[in-house]
Structure 1
Amino acid sequence: MQHRQQSMTQEIAAAKSAISTRTARRIEQSNTLPRAKADRDWRTREDPGICHA
């Protein structure tokens, strides 16, 4: 919430960050930083370009 560090209200900072006010409150109260989704390391099927003979 970079906008919040610029002395904006929580509602304005949340709107500019495209998140809900409730999510902004949860992020600010948390002791950890939010992380993006991790890339998955599994596959549902074989790639057609890889041949396992």
Structure 2
Amino acid sequence: CLVRYVDYGNTEILNRSDIVEIPLELQFSSVAKKYRLWGLQIPSGQEVTQFDQ
């Protein structure tokens, strides 16, 4: 199974038997929020896609 870690975005191939459910006491709802920043200027020569994450 290909696993993508949401904290740093890296991936790892794991055996299915290595993947377990997170215990209930360690689970919490999503806290990430999407924001858009206004008024920022990308320095000339920079590729825009490197900031699109």
- The two structures have a TM-score, normalised by structure 1, of 0.24
Answer 1 or 2: which has greater strand percent: 2
- The two structures have a TM-score, normalised by structure 2, of 0.24
Larger Rg, first or second structure (1 or 2): 1
Answer 1 or 2: which has greater helix percent: 1
Bigger relative contact order (CA 8 A; separation at least 6): 1
